[in-house]
Amino acid sequence: MQLVYQAENLFDAHLVKHALENAGIPAFVLGESLLGAGGELPLFGLLRVCVPDSAKAEADAIVAALALGEGAGAPILDDDETPGLLPA
């Protein structure tokens, strides 16, 4: 197994896993079951997405295309007057 992505949260880990599986690459989220032990373990570096050795190069390209961790766009502002959106 080869590490292709170290996730900051469970959402990102599963986003990567599903993107890889959609490309036909088996992917595994390791460390998911450790999240409940937050008081005993460090809170970062637990979640890892791994693939079989033979799929590492293709998986790296797919993960890079997802562009995770590049920061979000502009924040949503209360005074945003985008047409077609109604206040909740």
Q: Please tell me the distance from the alpha carbon of residue 29 to that of residue 19, in angstroms, as a whole number.
A: 13
Identify the CATH number of the domain in which residue 15 sits: 3.30.70
The answer as to whether 61 is a domain residue is yes
Range of the domain at 12: 2-66
Provide the residue type at 85 as one letter: L
What is the pLDDT, as a whole number, of residue 15? Answer: 93
Please answer whether residues 59 and 27 qualify as being in contact, where contact means their C-beta atoms are separated by less than 8 angstroms. Answer: yes
Greater confidence, 62 or 70?
62
Q: Is residue 77 part of a domain?
A: no
Residue 25, domain member (yes or no): yes
The strand ranges marked E within 1-87 are: 2-7, 28-30, 47-51
Q: What integer pLDDT is reported at residue 28 of this predicted model?
A: 94
Q: What are the tens digits of pLDDT across the range 2-59?
A: 999 998 888 889 999 999 999 999 999 998 877 665 555 556 667 899 999 999 999 9
Who has greater pLDDT, 11 or 79? Answer: 11
**Minimal CA–CA distance to 25: which of 53, 64, 65?**
53
72 inside domain: no
In the predicted model, what is the mean pLDDT of residues 69-81? 61
Q: How many domains does the chain have?
A: 1
- Dihedral through CA 50, CA 53, CA 55, CA 57, nearest 10? 90
